[in-house]
Amino acid sequence: MNRFPLTLALTLAPLAVAAQDTPELIVYTYDSFVSDWGPGPQIEANFEAICDCDLTFVGTGDGAAMVARLQLEGTTTDADIVLGLDTNLTAQAAATGLFADAPADVAAPQLPVEWDDPIFVPFDYSPFAFVYDTTIVETPPTSFEELAASDLKIVIQDPRSSTPGLGLLMWVDTLKGDDAGALWEALSDNIVTVTSGWSEAYGLFLEGEADMALSYVTSPAYHIIAEEDETKAAAIFEEGHYLQVEVAGALAGSDQPELAAEFLRFIATDGFQGVIPEAQWMFPAYPIDLPEGYAALNQPETSLLLSAEDAQARRADALAIWRDALSQ
Amino acid sequence: MILRRAALLPGFAVLALCAGTVLVLLMTADGSDGLSRADWATLRFTIWQAILSALFSGIVGVTFARALYRTAFPGRGFLITVLGAPFLLPAIVAVLGLLAIWGRGGVVSAGLAPFGYGPIDIYGAHGVIVAHVFFNAPLVARLVLQGWARIPGEQFRLADHLGLTGWYRFRHLEWPMLRTVLPGALLIVFLLCITTFAIALTLGGGPRATTLEVAIYQAIRLEFDLGRAGFLAAIQTGLCLVIAVAVLGLAAPSDTMRGIALRPTSTIRAKGAARFDKGLIALLTLFLASPLVAVLIRGIGGLAELPAGLWETSVRSIILALSSAILVSLLAVPIAWGLAGLRRFAAVAEGAMMVTLAISPFVLAAGLFLMIRDHVSPFAVALPMVVLVNALAALPFALRALVSAFVNAERVEGRLAQSLGLRGWGLWRIVFWPHVRPALGLSAGLAAAVSMGDLGVIALFGSTATQTLPFAMLSLMGAYQMEAAAGVALLLVSLSFALFALFDRWGRA
């Protein structure tokens, strides 16, 4: 007797019926990538114009959970490509054995750091940074120490549930290593709160709950270009900024391996990269002409990035230090 | 009698499912590390914030319900319906609404600034508790108000004749009722606060004030250590089970008497007391309504920017919500009927059923996923799974309301029905239905609205094809579209509330 609502929901659910004639490429990504304002719809149109295929983006919630999602589905997954992991999570993803090597002829990306990952193809990047309102913060801090010594209020993300949160954790870990605890303790009176995702943190910052939010060097570009608001800027730290490099990878179990390879090559082209700056609000991973608003961005001179293996190896210790320091 | 015991079968199925999901996760473990010191601290915080939240929600809820019961004013019925609203808010919307009032950049801080005070600091354990009281006090008020309505009007009249006022009136008339209603209501709040996630994270201010749910979330989503998630879930659920059974086992059994006058016709009240009640109602309404107004104001501007495809998402959300409401009703009515027939063990058995509240939706989802993935594509059944998990989460509310409705119906009309020889369908229609209907309306309404705002389950196996309004809202925020997101939040809250009000009004009609 409980069947009824289940069947109801089942029949009314738009079941993914594969189009029979044209091959379908299924790409798992996070929700905001496929939203109307994200880059997904335009990239889909651009790729379908050249591939004679049906590209389907499947938004699977948020980025931090994508690896877990894949592990849950295992080899039964329908996905051909996973797009939107960052380098702090790729070692774990590669270790699942679910991924195939990228085709050898994918162009080399232009990133502020060396790139030689055999599996994953980067599609965009940005240094993490604390974004502030220039009408409120007159002299932004130039280091973590200055930030900790100031009475500026910041909002950050929880590294256990959010990729920027994890990025900040690795940033501090890269700079301070096992002494990170002292810095986190010094920062604790600056931290208004720790949110579960980027959206909440940035939303709170825009609502005036904090002076700064952990976000991206590229975040002000959104305000400059889309809102003609030049009051948001990223504070540049002299010691350097940790990068978020977002990548895509093809699954070994894909029933469309050639199409998947074609898509990975497509990432390096204008049809993909051209959409990134004004929909994803990140730097493209391959050189293209950037929109004017990007010229106004503050940019760090030094970029930091742990290798995927090191990031994976350091994560548990860095998390424990973070948690202990902020639990005092 | 056999039929009545058989009615409990869905209950056993639900318990087996909950235990099964935890077991499936536990079996993936290759030896758990146990609880670290930090885990213990988290567990302690989880429990004590839930206890304090339940206590304060109880105090505020009972005060509110008592004032509401004793005061007649235009719009009272509307206010009682609106009381459901805070509970229906998705956590993230509620948090943003609360912060618009109590945050560092909120209305109160802005009001204090000219006097040289503030900004007030809402972040920390106290913030978590304030948010929980905002969420749950109205729920307690609703549940307790039903109790007040069941005190026969004759008793109030008798109290008037005897000149019982103030404390004595409370002691002899209201306290016995509260002893039967309040423990269950507080237990629900306690269990709800155990699995709190977004509220604790955002308002807690950091890892100092996070709940075990965050650790479970981390285990599943970041580390993919399902064994550890199962281990943590087993501890959390086991603890809650003990507490639930103890609280309901100790609660006084209901002893409703038959009355004719349902509302007190006259009460001897001092003018001061009436004014006090009105002031109290105004104050609490302000506390509960101001964050809602903030959500409304923020959202109106965003309504113009709603994405075009949103109606499809809205329809999907509504279908999900209705399916959950139907499923929970189909499960709860037989279980509640069966439980009400158990007499002595009814309370304990209901306590056991309540743990579906304490089981993390992530654990439930991950466990279900593992169980079925070798048989069907979890994708194809993602929506039914969302419906199932949401219905399970709403089951305790439904049982709370329905069990006492059945018990009441039998106490009040049982003998008369027996002497009239009413059986079968007639018994149901004439005796049970008038009692069950309001409870069913309330619980189906809660189930529908809560499913509407659910984020937890879909987070694990959602897809574009299963996108619901809360996710549409989050993904807009993720694309810097804060205004449009506020618009979606308003739409979501309005739809949730409309569904809730529809069911609730149907029940009370």
Chain B: closest CA distance from residue A33 (Å): 8
Q: How many other CB atoms are found less than 10 A from the CB of residue B204?
A: 25
Q: What are phi and psi of B105, to 5 degrees?
A: -105, 20
Q: Flag if A13 and B379 touch (Cβ within 8 Å).
A: no
Predicted ipTM? 0.81
pLDDT at A188 over 90: yes
Confidence at residue B465, expressed as pLDDT on a 0 to 100 scale:
65
Distance CA B268, CA B157 (A): 9
- Mean pLDDT is highest, among A244-248, B66-70, B273-277, B371-375, for A244-248
**Max Cα-Cα span within chain A:** 66
Q: For testing the chain A interface, which of B28, B43, B126, B202 should be mutated: the one with the most A CBs within 10 Å?
A: B202
A75 reaches B (C-beta below 8 A): no
Q: Flag if B201 and A74 touch (Cβ within 8 Å).
A: no
Residues of A in contact with B489 (CB under 8 A): none
Residues of A in contact with B308 (CB under 8 A): 36
Inter-CA distances, B443 with A228, B94, B143, B265, B503, Å: 48, 21, 11, 29, 8
Which helix (DSSP H) or strand (DSSP E) does residue A216 occupy? strand A212-216
Residues of A in contact with B221 (CB under 8 A): 64-65, 68, 161
Q: A227 Cβ partners below 8 Å, 6+ apart? A: none
Measured distance between the N- and C-terminal CA atoms of chain A, rounded to whole angstroms: 53
Residues of A in contact with B370 (CB under 8 A): 72
Confidence at residue B265, expressed as pLDDT on a 0 to 100 scale:
44
pLDDT bin (cut points 50, 70, 90) of residue B145 is: confident
Nearest to A65 by CA among B198, B365, B221, B467: B221
- Mean pLDDT is highest, among B70-84, B131-145, B192-206, B407-421, for B131-145
Confidence at residue B462, expressed as pLDDT on a 0 to 100 scale:
63
Least confident piece of the model among A26-40, A274-288, B104-118, B459-473 = B459-473
**Cβ–Cβ under 8 Å, residues B38 and B206:** no
> Rg (Cα) of chain A, in Å, rounded?
20
**Cβ–Cβ under 8 Å, residues A249 and A81:** yes
Option in A62, A71, A196 nearest B198 (CB): A196
Option in B204, B222, B366 nearest A160 (CB): B222
Residues 398-427 of B with CB under 8 A from A: none
Confidence at residue B459, expressed as pLDDT on a 0 to 100 scale:
62
Q: Flag if A8 and B204 touch (Cβ within 8 Å).
A: no
Q: What are phi and psi of A187, to 5 degrees?
A: -80, -15
pLDDT at B416 over 80: no
Counting beta carbons within 10 angstroms of the beta carbon of residue A327, is it exposed (0 to 12), middle (13 to 18) or buried (19 or more)? Answer: middle
Q: What is the pLDDT of residues A265-292, one digit of tens each?
A: 999 999 999 999 999 999 999 999 999 9
Residue type, A150: S
Confidence at residue A134, expressed as pLDDT on a 0 to 100 scale:
95
β-bridge mates for residue A247, sequence order: A85, A122
Residues of B in contact with A64 (CB under 8 A): 221-222
pLDDT bin (cut points 50, 70, 90) of residue B253 is: low
Confidence at residue B418, expressed as pLDDT on a 0 to 100 scale:
73
A328 reaches B (C-beta below 8 A): yes
Find how far residue B17's CA is from the centre of its chain: 21
**Cβ–Cβ under 8 Å, residues A229 and A223:** yes
Residue type, B445: G
- Tokens 């306690």 -> residue: B190
Distance CA A93, CA A83 (A): 12
Counting beta carbons within 10 angstroms of the beta carbon of residue A258, is it exposed (0 to 12), middle (13 to 18) or buried (19 or more)? Answer: exposed
Q: How many other CB atoms are found less than 10 A from the CB of residue B451?
A: 29
A132 by DSSP, 3-state: which? strand
| DSSP string over B357-380 | GTS-HHHHHHHHHHHHTTTS-TTT
| DSSP string over A13-58 | S---PPPSSS-EEEEEE-HHHHSTTSSHHHHHHHHHHHHSSEEEEE
Nearest to B316 by CA among B495, B86, B501: B495
Q: How many other CB atoms are found less than 10 A from the CB of residue B44?
A: 11
Measured distance between the N- and C-terminal CA atoms of chain B, rounded to whole angstroms: 32
Distance CA B480, CA A198 (A): 10
Q: What is the pLDDT of residues B309-363, one digit of tens each?
A: 788 889 988 998 999 999 999 999 999 888 887 766 777 777 778 778 778 777 8
Option in A208, A209, A327 nearest B208 (CB): A327
Distance CA B294, CA A312 (A): 42
Residues of A in contact with B202 (CB under 8 A): 193, 195-196, 200, 204
- Domains along the sequence of chain A with CATH: 20-125+244-284 (3.40.190.10), 126-243+299-326 (3.40.190.10)
Residues A94-114 as b/e (b if ≥16 CB within 10 A, e otherwise) read beeebbbebeeeeeebebbee
Confidence at residue A8, expressed as pLDDT on a 0 to 100 scale:
41
pLDDT at A98 over 90: yes
Residues 431-460 of B with CB under 8 A from A: 458-460
Q: What is the pLDDT of residues B464-499, one digit of tens each?
A: 666 788 888 888 888 888 888 899 999 998 999 899
Q: Which CATH number fits domain B2-508: 3.40.50.300, 1.10.3720.10, 3.30.70.1400, 3.40.50.1010?
A: 1.10.3720.10
Q: How many other CB atoms are found less than 10 A from the CB of residue B371?
A: 15
Confidence at residue B115, expressed as pLDDT on a 0 to 100 scale:
87
Spans of all domains in chain B: 2-508
**Residue in chain A nearest B331 by alpha carbon:** A2
pLDDT at A75 over 90: no
Q: Which two tokens stand for residue A286?
A: 């391959």
Q: How many other CB atoms are found less than 10 A from the CB of residue B124?
A: 16
Distance CA A304, CA A126 (A): 11
Q: Flag if B366 and A9 touch (Cβ within 8 Å).
A: no
Share of chain A above pLDDT 90, in %: 76
Q: What is the pLDDT of residues B123-142, one digit of tens each?
A: 888 999 999 999 899 989 98
pLDDT bin (cut points 50, 70, 90) of residue B255 is: low
A204 reaches B (C-beta below 8 A): yes
Q: For residues A55 and B424, which has the higher predicted lDDT (pLDDT)?
A: A55
Q: What is the pLDDT of residues A201-240, one digit of tens each?
A: 999 999 889 999 999 999 999 999 999 999 999 999 999 9
Q: What is the pLDDT of residues B174-189, one digit of tens each?
A: 888 888 788 888 988 9
